[in-house]
Each structure stands twice: as C-alpha cells, then as structure tokens.
Chain A
Amino acid sequence: MKKFDKDRLLLGVAGPGLALVVAFLLTSVVLLVSDRDPIEPYRLMLETAEFTDVQVNILNQAGTYYLAALAVAVGFRMNLFNIGVDGQYRLAVMLAAVVGASVELPGPLHILLIVIVAMLVGALWAGVAGILKTTRGVSEVVSTIMLNAIATSLIAWMILPANLGEQLPGSNDLTTGEIAESGWFPGLAMEGGTIYGFTFVAFALGVVYWFALNRTRFGFDLRATGASESAAQASGVDSKKMILTAMLISGAVAGLVGMPLLLGQTHTYSLSFPAGVGFTGITIALLGRNNPIGIFFAALLISFIEKTSADLDQFGYEKEIATIMQGLIVISVVVSYELVRQYGLRRQQQKVGEELAAQARRNKEEVAL
C-alpha cells in the first residue's frame, strides 16, 4: 500500500513543480521578447535575498499571505470561491484598529479584543455573501466582488476625520488613531529587523486548519461537500448550513490577515494599508493546493518574488516582471494541476486493473496446482 502513497506524494509535488518551471520559462520568454537578459533578473533577485533585512521582510510578508491563503483555501475545499478576502480583511483590520485605539486593557486582553473584533467583522462581511447564496442563490463570486467594492467605499467614508478617523498634523494620511502599547504584539528581534509575533500565530493556524479539516467530523463534511455536493447531501450534510459555516470561517480567517502588520508594526490603520492581499492569497492557495504545508512554501515564494523584485528598477529591469511572473504562475498552476490530476487518476485505474489481473492469475495458478 505504501507504493500508492509514494505515488500520491510524487504527483502532489509534480503539479506545482511543473507549473513553476513553465512559469519561469515563460517569464524568460517575455524577457527575451522585450530584449532583456532572460536570466539576469533571477540572479539579481537571489542576490537581494541574501540581505537579512530582506529576509525578515519576506518572512513577515509570508505570514500575512499565509493567512489570506488559508482564508481562501477554507472556501476552496468545499468549492466556494471567496474572492472577497481582500474586502473582509481591510474592513476587519480597520474596525479592529478603531476598537483597539479606543480602549486600554491589560496586554493579552487588549490584543485578544482586537483579534476577536477583526475575526467577527471579517466573518460578518463574508457572512453577507453566505446568506445571499443560501437564501437567494446568489453566486458567492459575484457577491464577494461587490462586497469588496462596498468595503472600499465604506472604509473611505468611515476613516474621514468627521467619523472615526483622524488626520495627523502635517500629513495627508488619515489614520484611526494609535493603539496603546498594551495592544502591541511582541515580535522576535533579529539581525535584520523584527519578525512580527503574529507571523508565528499565522503559521500555527495552519496546524489548526489541517487538524480541523482532516481529523474532525466537521472537516470531513466540508471536504465531502467540496468533493461531491450531491454525495455529501445524500450522506446527510446540510449543504446550506455548510456553505454558511464555511463562509463565516473563511471570513474570520480573512479578518486576521491584517493582524501581523497592525499588531506588529503600524499600530494604527491608515490609508496606506496594502490592498490586494486577498487576491495574492488566491494565487497562493492555488499554488499550495489548499494544503497547509504547500501554502507555506507558496507564500514564501510569492513574497520572495515580491520583496526581491523591488530593487530591480535600479539595475534597469522593470519590477513589473514580478507581476508578470505571478500571473504566469497562476495560469500554469491551473493547467498543470488539471493535467497531473487526470494523469494520476488514469494511472491509478490502470495500476488497480493490473494488480487485480495479477491477483487473478495467481489464484488461477493456485487452483491449477
């Protein structure tokens, strides 16, 4: 039986491997076509990665992405496409920052309050899409995209000084006020900078994700629904309840996406908070095959590309190469996974057929003897 397991692992690695090779080759083609050196940018990026401050940046960014990808992956595991992670995260981090700045509590409680508010807001925002889907049959893809836009406008309005925000003297930026020091999450000071404490929480959440999906009844129901909704329903899963629950969980995790940055560095929400993290999360969840370990490496890779490409401009290469690379990764991932999946299925069917035939022959021989 071990053989089949090894096969599965091999096929599991083959998908992303193939995708990455193809993506990098295609990027080189793009570079060649635009009269650039097709290899040099990679070398420059690897060189940049040798600086310890860049390394810390990569890790911190990976933590944020890891959370975003987990949020997406929870939905993916049951065929829900939560495109709204981005809106959920921004709305959540903003309101959490507002609440965090308005109270002062003993350390751990203060942090806990901020985190819980963020999760609730994220879940609530995703829950809107969940309710729309279960009661009115609205596709979650459409509603979450719309909710992203609504979240953007809502944040822009709420952060006005007349409402919840404040404008610092001598700055155009609007913020939500600084959170008291009791609400700062301690980090790990390194040579090149500080690794946000919440980054470790993010990776720990991967373990929780794995356990909940693979070792609990709830996780089984969720995976069954993703594998075959009709079969899951016949097996007794209430699909509407499942959709809503999955959406709420996905939103709650999305709410955490802004926590490493908020609790570890900025301590306030401002207009300069990064947007688009949720979309990168989709790429990473795809690349990591919704697997917590896969997502970890995918998050590292994507933040590596992002952080090390920033300096390419200085050497005469456009840093947009990184964006092209990411886009190509997504395309090749989708194609190569489907190819590998079909190949794997066919191969296994063949193997089972062969083994059964061999078994039958053995039986026959025994009878003959």
Chain B
Amino acid sequence: MHALVGENGAGKSTLMKILYGMQKPDEGTITIDGTQVGFHSPADAIAAGIGMVHQHFMLADNLTVLENVVLGGEKLYGIGARARDKIREISDAYGLNIRPDVLLEQLGVADRQRVEILKVLYRGARTLILDEPTAVLVPQEVDALFDNLRELKAEGLTVIFISHKLGEVLSVADEITVIRRGTTVGTADPRTTTPKQLAELMVGSELPSPETRESTVTDVPMLDVDGLRLTATDPDGVVREVLDGITLTIHKGEVMGIAGVEGNGQTELIEALMGMRDPDGGVITLDGTDISHTPTRKRREDGIGYIPEDRHRHGLLLESPLWENRILGHVTERPNSRKGLLDLKAARKDTERIVREYDVRTPGIEVTAASLSGGNQQKLIVGREMSHAPKLLIAAHPTRGVDVGAQAQIWDQIREARREGLAVLLISADLDELIGLSDTLRVMYRGRLVADADPATITPEELGSAMTGAATGHLEHNQNGEGR
C-alpha cells in the first residue's frame, strides 16, 4: 500500500490522471509488472488492471448495487445471475460485505465507497487508486475502510492512496511518496516517520495546528436561530423534514462547530441561513434583526460572509478572471461598484490586494479562477469574504482539499477575525479542525442538533459516535476512553 501526499497543486491529481490515462505525459515511462505501458484513455488503464475510486462517487442513486456495478461493464459477466455471483464472490473474498440487490439510495457514504471499490475490482483491477477516500468518513468508518484495504493488500493487490490527513497515511501505508511542485521530494518509511516530519517534508515548514489559544467569546448574541424548520419534497412527492427544531445562538467572537456525517442537514442549514432556501418555520435573527425571509443579497450586505462547501458550484465563476470573482457576491458593495455602476479599476486594485495579503499564488488577476489550484481558489474566497468586514462567517469545510500551508493560513485568518468579534459557524468533516477551532460544538444528525460537546475535552472518536446517532445529549469525555 503506497501513499501519495503533497500540497494542493503539487501535482498529485495530475499524476493520478496520467496513471489513469486521462492525460498524456510529455516525458517518462510507466511500468506495470515489468512491462512498459502507454495509456491513451481510461479504457487502456482499466485493461492494464488499474482502477480508480474517485473522491466524488460516480454512482446512480436510483439503481441497485448490482446495476451500478455492471453499468458500462455489461460484457464482463452479463447483467444477471452471473454478475450477481461475481459480486458476491468479490465481496466475500475481500470482506466488503455488499448486498447486490439493495438500492443505492439506501446506502450510507461508507457503503457507497465500498460499492465504488467493488466496481473497480469487478473490472479486474489489480492496482487501485483511491483519491482522498477518507474525506467523507467518520473515524470508525475510516478504520473499517482501512481493514478492507489491508484485506486487498493481503490478496496481492496494490493500493495507491492519496490523502491530506497525515496521521492516517502513517497508520496505513507501507511506503509514502511526498511530492511538491510536480516532483518527488522524498520517500518516507511510515514506521520511522512522525506526522510532523512528514508535513515538513511536504511544505518545508512546521505542521500547523488548528488550536485556538484564548477564548474570545462575548455574551453579545450575533446569530440567533430559534426552532428552524425546513421541508423538502422528494422526487416521489413525499414531503420530508430536512431540518427540524434547530435552535442555536452564536455570540460575537465565538466559533460554533457543527459536526455530522455529510447529508444530515448541514447543507440545508447553511442554505437556510444564507437565504437560498426559505424556511418553513422558525426565526433567524442576525445582530438583533429578523432575517428569516430576507433575500440572500440583503443578508450578504448586512454582514454575512460565506465560504461555501462546494467552491466550484457556489463560490466561483470558474471561467471568469480573478477580479470578476472578487466582485461575485459583493457586487453592490464598495469597492466593486458605485451607484449601480461597476468600478472595475477599484475592483481590480482590491483583487491585487487580496492576492498579496492572502498569498494567492497566481501570475496575475486576469487569469481564470479555473487555472488556480484548489487551495489558492479557497484563499481567494476567504480573502474576498473577509474583505467586507463580516459580522457572521459561515464557513463550510473551509480547508477541504486545501494543502497544509494554506490550511494554517485560513485558520489564522478565522482566529484573527474572531478576536475582533466575528461570529463563526463552522461546518467541517475534519474533526481535528472542528475540535481545534471551535468554542462550542454541536452534532447534527438527521436534520436535528442531537448533541453538544466541549471541544476542550472531547476526542474525535467520541464525536464520531454521536455523528452516527449512537450518542445524544451532552457528551462528556470519559477518562476510560469509552465515549458515551
């Protein structure tokens, strides 16, 4: 099992794309099992026994596991009993525990990931590439995944594993390759390397920690949510409650972290707070003003900053230049415009300031947002949102897919703004980040806030069990290591 680590924009994804035949190398060779190969398309790579499990699952919700697996691979074992037997066989062989006839929409994230892995094995892969497989899993699920991977390894398969989480990499990999700016900067032996050393190898600097030092929480409420309720209608016409009885108060200078497995209502909560969805009940109060049904633009003008969960869909215009992206979301505010007219000169100048102050690595502000790496895109977004002196910052996975260096910077900026009285709602899948950065913690499960915890004492494992619905109420740290 080989792990690949590196900063964002270091070239990990490009390397993987080349291995999977999605891009062609200019120079160099790829050798599999002693034979030199050249891939022109993913089909070639699959034929050579390489399989890729993407970070974002490519599965159809309304099909069964069986149908998802055979889709596109109908010629291998047909689509009926033979395919079903093959799936069972693979599932048993590697302990994947997959039932072929379950509808995919009934499966959780971890199960879906196993389906993806099975899909790749079904096509005869001997080399598996996993792109940040743990990003969406809670700690218990991560352990289960690693057990599966060890099983694969024991059967003689090769696993290439991309991750940002250094602790995991060290616990599971047999060998680690670190790349930086497109070249290999070193290999590390996980038995003798510490996370700190690994991080230093990656960025050439010290490992940042998300810990907040002193409390800056005041008793002035900034955001007050009372009994928020939101319903959504399924494609089948069934009305479902996606948010129910959400009540929370964030004070000036407070960071409230919301933990939860993705898909438990966090996205909907953000959208209700941003005004992208109209709540069916409850009151949202920002700085003493009722904003329950205020349009998004007004909320933004009133001081809500927003770091979206999916920056490509909600945070950027990918094919527009950086300075236009700097205007996005703040088009009615200075310096971007005056009396309905855009002020391009001022907007450009301010973009240059953001690029400088937030260390966005780009050759200039005329390039499109798409040409920046993920971390630099995120820095631009953070810079933009912070430039309008927000009262409340809604930060959804602010450091997802961001390298260690940029991560530390973003954490610093949030901390600094918090000192000046910013209220922050932090939603993250990175439990270390949640625990380290938050002043208070809540756990969200099936659209409700089911538990709260003190970040000073709680451990990721204890938080993880509440995220799966196993524990509710106030979580106390148990010295014996048994989370309630």
Contacts and interface: CB of A to CB of B under 8 A. Distances in A.
Interface of A: 1, 4-5, 214-221, 223-224, 227-228, 230-238, 345, 348-349, 351-353, 355-357, 359-360
Interface string B274-307: 1010000000000000000001111110000010
Nearest to B327: A220
Interface in B334-354: 337, 340-342, 344
Contacts, number: 111
Interface stretch (B40-48, B106-114, B164-172, B356-364): B356-364
Contact of B368 (A5, A348, A353, A356): A348
A360 B364 CA distance: 15
B361 A356 contact: yes
Nearest to B301: A236
Interface of B: 9, 181-182, 274, 276, 295-300, 306, 308, 313-320, 324, 327-332, 337, 340-342, 344, 361-368, 370-372
Contacts of A233: 276, 296, 314
A216 B342 contact: yes
Contacts of B276: 233-234
B319 A235 contact: no
A224 to B, nearest CB: 6
Contacts of B314: 230-231, 233-234
B317 A217 contact: no
Given A1-B365, A236-B299, A238-B295, 12 more contacts: A215-B344, A217-B341, A220-B324, A228-B318, A231-B313, A232-B328, A235-B296, A235-B297, A236-B300, A238-B296, A345-B368, A353-B371
B340 A352 contact: no
B306 A234 contact: yes
B296 A357 contact: no
A349 B296 contact: no
Contact of A220 (B297, B315, B342, B366): B342
Given A233-B296, A234-B306, A227 B341 contact: no
Among all A-B residue pairs, the 4 with the closest Cβ atoms:
A236-B297, A235-B329, A355-B363, A234-B314
Nearest to B337: A217
B175 to A, nearest CB: 26
Contacts of B366: 1, 4-5
B406 to A, nearest CB: 14
Report whether over half of chain B's contact residues are helix, strand or loop; otherwise say mixed.
loop
A85 to B, nearest CB: 26
B328 A224 contact: yes
Given A233-B276, A234-B276, A348-B368, A217 B331 contact: yes
17 contacts: A215-B341, A217-B332, A217-B337, A217-B340, A224-B328, A230-B313, A233-B296, A234-B308, A234-B314, A236-B296, A236-B297, A236-B299, A236-B332, A352-B367, A352-B372, A353-B371, A359-B363
Given A4-B364, A216-B340, A357-B182, A228 B370 contact: no
A215 to B, nearest CB: 5
Given A217-B332, A217-B337, A236-B329, A231 B317 contact: yes
A231 B365 CA distance: 19
B341 A216 contact: yes
Contacts of A228: 313, 316-318
A233 B310 CA distance: 13
Contacts of A360: 181
A287 B365 CA distance: 28
A223 B331 CA distance: 12
Nearest to B297: A236
Contacts of B318: 227-228
Given A217-B337, A224-B317, A227-B317, A352 B363 contact: yes
Residue of A218, A235, A237, A353 most packed against chain B (CB within 10 A): A235
B297 to A, nearest CB: 3
B49 to A, nearest CB: 28
A238 B298 CA distance: 11
Contact of B329 (A215, A219, A234): A234
Contacts of B365: 1
A255 to B, nearest CB: 24
A227 B320 contact: yes
Which of A218, A220, A223 gathers most chain B CB within 10 Å? A220
Contacts of A230: 313-314
A237 B274 CA distance: 12
Contacts of A236: 295-300, 329, 331-332
